Structure 1
């Protein structure tokens, strides 16, 4: 079955629209999760305060935060507004993936690859998240498309665009520059392929393909080296929660990246066949998937770095290789397999729209906790958070979901903006800070029968001495308690 001419010309449009439709289903149903609260906290600050922040932590996301700062200034900071750039970036990724597949393997592969990408759970997950991963994926595919064009027509404007895109890719996520391992293979195999076609390596050398690629990469490196140095100095604090990966983590990587085990296994299997059967560019795309994964695993043995979502930028290349395996089938049969992949991933699609936490069975419902506090608060109430120094960001959640009229943060000594950090500083003597409060709200991470059991002893002891638990509520992932003064002893 041959596609009509108009479909060939606009073949990229259908995967882009499909991605917008899929990511547009309940995009704001899941509450902002911890990383997204960090995005909001950073991007909503004045530029000067934002730059001070990235000097202390999260420098590797500084460019994304600046982009989101400008976005928020125009469209606001609702959940939908915060996540919309990622949805648009994923739609752009699907379009570029289709174009790349069409250039390398033909329009049918491009179309199938773009549509397959659209229905993957990872596309919805990162297309509905206020973090840079969708933008990183877009830039990775664009950089590869520009490299293909530069290899075909090695003029300096092509290489300049490629260098700029690699620099932007690194600014969005430094690890994504590992994409260059696959690109280096592409440059080397391009020479070998030309040699087989009739001794054209002279043109390859005369046009300066290897030199121009190295210059482009070097120019991007000049931009990224200072960021890498600063990011490395912050790594211990920023990734202190990351453990060393074992063999099970490596085996489960396709499912972790695609956000669904069965779908990840299916994609990996189809992609392996495509990599083995599609010649030079099949091998290049296969290595563009495998080499970053191997680098992440090896680096994770040496330093805290193994975070599977850092590899989401390789998913479009896997989708294209899988599509290359499906392309010889009749188009209805190939599309049916793409649809089947979407159906298999439907349970994960539904789950990620309830929560972005991992595992999906452990949601954290910040809005539900806020509704309880808002319904029962009184003037003069205070609030206390436990923990305050971890990655729960309970105070940021309350600040976001209850922007006006929230209880006073009684232990606050220095807020995040003044501290140029993602965390606030609490007063060193909680007994004194608690003195002017008669009613105190307590928001604790986790669900506890005794809310004070989740509070550090240095805070819990003065609380027990003065307050008793008047009421307690639990919502998914959180405990909310109202503390009132104990009756005076006679």
Structure 2
């Protein structure tokens, strides 16, 4: 097998195939611009309602990190979330220029997904043909998962873009060898590793594809590929060591993988069980249609999934969204299947897939939590406090050290107008952590405070009873509940002396 431009299965092995040509003999303009329609459609879909769902807990962590100084981000990487620290540095620079509105925080992911759809079309054109590439890019555009992760201030969309870019550059470097192309591939892989460590499992597929070209390519090709990985090893190794030491703290909520998880993966990464099933069916048909040409995209789907699943059987690592970067390769295989029929019915299948995903598209624009019924209404809680607070009011959160990030949620929506966080002894930035530390003697810290806004997780008829430890004892001893406001996933109570 040779990774090269493909216009048909009859091309001689190892021969460089010329660009697609039009009827007049000149370059086919439609072939050169195959990326435009998928990119524009994806951008339009992802930008629709991009600010409707309020930032959820993972995005609040991104906001908290991105609004710190670079020195504080380096310190944060030493305690938790080291694997995501390069993304946080990028978002720090982005927020400094574009602000921290919901749209601004999510725009890098939206642009990355739009670019990914374009690259999917280009890679499909290189490996299969123009029509297959176009259909693959359009299919990616209408998947609910593309909107979900293209509307999230997290690194998954950027990792997906870099995975496609690295694979496309690998195809270019093996088809038209040159150090500049290998250098581009090296840079893309290094960026991929800095963005998302799990996405480096894609290199297993790259390795097999490169080894498969030894019969038709120069013997130095595998060596050049190995040399291209050296920058990644040098840059990523420190992150791997830090992330490994932080795994228990960072992924303590993850269970070990089970066989049922594999069956649910397609629905997880596409954010729709029905659409995930359609994609798997089309991809399987496309793989059968392509034969040996399915090697690279097929392994780019299977090997990362199997490697993460195998690791997840022993170590809690299996999180479906970590594998979002394999979805475009599945779309590429599906595009090959659709290219076997005339264009109008193929486009009709793409449109039907989009229609099947509409309920999930609407749901993910209401909330990013999963299940969708598990919404935590930070914005509603903040509005209640903003409407009723007075000078001198304080706010108390329970629980404090949880992944719900109640304090970050209110801080994001209230900004400088939030009440004094009276129990904080050391904030998140100073602790180089995602959680603040509270004072050891809550009763003393509450002294002199006449009104406290208590924010607790869940729906609580008696919010004071839900506060544990010395903090709960101090609140119950000094305050009474004046009023309670239940909101989805959170309860706000006003306490008075």
Residues 1:123 and 2:146 are matched in the alignment: yes
Give the paired residue count.
473
Residues in 2 aligned to 1:329 and 1:157: alpha-carbon distance in whole angstroms: 38
Shift of 1:449: 1.2
Q: Does the 8 A contact of 1:136 with 1:169 survive in 2?
A: yes
Query: Equivalences for 1:349-368 in 2 at 5 Å?
Result: 349-368=361-380
> Per-residue displacement from partner, 1:159-214 (whole Å, max 9, x unpaired)?
1111111110000000100000111111122234x3xxxxxxxx521xx1011011
- Residue by residue over 1:68-126, the C-alpha shift from the partner in whole angstroms, topping out at 9 and shown as x without a partner, is 11111111111110000110011110111110000100000000000000000111001
Question: TM-score with structure 2 length normalisation?
Answer: 0.93
Task: Choose which of 91, 96, 106 in structure 2 pairs with 1:73.
Answer: 96
> Do the aligned residues in 2 keep the contact of 1:365 with 1:475 (CA within 8 Å)?
yes
Question: Which stretch shifts more, 154-163 or 91-100?
Answer: 154-163
Tell me how far 1:283 sits from its aligned partner: 2.4
Residues 48-87 of structure 1: pairs in structure 2 closer than 5 A: 48-87=71-110
In structure 2, C-alpha distance between the alignment counterparts of 1:221 and 1:51, rounded to whole Å: 20
Match of 1:45 in 2: 68
Deviation at residue 3 of structure 1 after TM alignment = 9.8
- Report whether the alignment pairs 1:407 with 2:419: yes
Is the 8 Å Cα contact of residues 272 and 286 (structure 1) preserved in structure 2?
Answer: no
8 Å CA contact retained: 1:276, 1:283: no
Give the superposed CA RMSD: 1.4
* SS of equivalent to 1:244: coil
> Where does structure 2 lack aligned partners over 5 or more consecutive residues?
1-20
Unaligned 5+ segments in structure 1 are 195-202, 486-490
2:171 pairs, out of 148, 154, 171, with: 148
Distance 1:405 1:209 in 2: 60
Say if 2:290 is the partner of 1:267. Answer: no
**463, 469, 488: which one aligns with 1:457:** 469
Separation of aligned partners in 2, 1:152 and 1:240: 44
**Distance in 1 separating the partners of 2:402 and 2:160:** 29
Counterpart of 1:292? 304
Alignment of 1:184-223 (within 5 A): 184-192=207-215, 194=216, 203-205=217-219, 208-223=220-235
* Inter-partner Cα distance in structure 1 for 2:266 and 2:466: 36
2:35/2:119 contact within 8 Å kept: yes
Say which SS state the counterpart of residue 437 (structure 1) adopts. Answer: coil
**Contact map agreement 1:95 1:114 (CA 8 A) in 2:** yes
2:245 to 206, 217, 233: 233
Cα distance in 2 for residues equivalent to 1:255 and 1:316: 14
Q: Which residue of 2 aligns with 1:139?
A: 162
Partner of 1:10: 33
**Match runs of 1:415-426 below 5 Å:** 415-426=427-438
Would the aligned equivalents of 2:441 and 2:470 in 1 still touch at CA under 8 Å? no
Q: Which residue of 1 aligns with 2:400?
A: 388
